[in-house]
Structure 1
Amino acid sequence: MISKGTKIDTNFSIKVVDNGEEKEVEFSELLDRPTIVSVYMKNNTSSCDRQTESLAEHSKWFDEKGYNLIAISKDGCRSHKNYAKKQGIDYILASDPDYKFARATDSIVEKSMYGNTYESPSRSAYLIDIDGTVLEIIEKVNTKAHAEELKELVESN
């Protein structure tokens, strides 16, 4: 995993759902102000639902503090559109099936399920400045209190 103070490569395209609209953008375009990127595994799973709901409940606070909020998973935009509507999500959901963001942050880890091992992005969060510099990292997200742990990072910067 990259370390705090590292500048990531932001020159990759990614599909997002923003206000119900699907579009493909350069990741760097999303960094028009400091940005929080929260990585989760899959829509409609209990721990991921808690993580994204926590952000949805506090999204206005982050906006008022001057931060963009992005949650990213391997789910496609069609799934993201339905998920955003179901969960009341008003921030950007990004689709990253090729793990471009995880590669940029060197956060692909080995996991195992039912005796099978595979590689997948870690459940982590990043506070990234407009130039791509990582200001803060949460290496292991607390799904039950994710917004609160991010608020602490924002307040300390």
Structure 2
Amino acid sequence: MVAKGDKINTDFTLKVVRGGEEQEVQFSELLDKPAVVSVYMKNNTGSCDKQNKSLAEHAPVFAEKGYNLIALSKDSCGSHKKYADKLGISYILASDPEHAFSSATDSIVEKKMYGKTYQGPSRSAFVIDTDGTVLGVIEKLKPADHAAELIGLIDSL
């Protein structure tokens, strides 16, 4: 996994839902100011809902501090639009079914479910500067207290 001070490759494409609209963007375009990227597994699941409810509740704080807030999963933009409406999400939801972001941050890990082993993105969060430099990482986040964790990390930078 990348560490503070590492620079990631930002030259990959994502589909995002921003302001209720679906767009295809280069990740670097989302770095017009520093960004917080929160990786979660799937819309409408217990821990992921807690993670995003925490972010939705505190989204204005990230904006006041000058950060883009991005939550990223493998879900489609169609699913993200419904999810944003359901949870009152005003920040960017990114669709990354090919795990381009997790590859760029070297955060693909071995997982196990129902006795099967597979590779997938870690539930983690990254603070990334406009040039792709990693300012901070939370490797194992706490879904219900996620926004507080991130705000604490930002305040410590």
Large movers: runs of 4+ above 4 Å: none
Counterpart Cα distance in 2 of 1:144 and 1:91: 18
Counterpart Cα distance in 1 of 2:144 and 2:84: 19
Counterpart Cα distance in 2 of 1:144 and 1:15: 26
Equivalent residue for 2:144? 144
| Identity fraction in percent | 66
Equivalent residue for 1:125? 125
Equivalent residue for 1:64? 64
Tell me how far 1:144 sits from its aligned partner.
Answer: 1.1
1:55 aligns with 2:55: yes
Counterpart Cα distance in 2 of 1:61 and 1:128: 17
Tell me how far 1:2 sits from its aligned partner.
Answer: 1.1
Counterpart Cα distance in 1 of 2:60 and 2:144: 19
Counterpart Cα distance in 2 of 1:38 and 1:44: 16
Counterpart Cα distance in 1 of 2:120 and 2:68: 24
Tell me how far 1:112 sits from its aligned partner.
Answer: 0.5
For residues 68-79 of structure 1, what are the structure 2 equivalents within 5 Å?
68-79=68-79
Letter in 1 for 2:53: E
Q: Helix, strand or coil: the match of 2:9? A: coil
Counterpart Cα distance in 2 of 1:66 and 1:140: 24
Tell me how far 1:41 sits from its aligned partner.
Answer: 0.2
Deviation sequence 1:33-83 (CA, Å, 0-9, x none)? 010000000000010000001000000011011000000000000000000
Equivalent residue for 1:115? 115
> Between Structure 1 and Structure 2, how many residues are aligned?
157
Q: TM-score, normalised by structure 2?
A: 0.99
Q: Cα RMSD over matched residues?
A: 0.4
Structure 2 gaps of 5+ residues are none
Equivalent residue for 1:84? 84
Tell me how far 1:3 sits from its aligned partner.
Answer: 1.2
Counterpart Cα distance in 1 of 2:66 and 2:144: 24
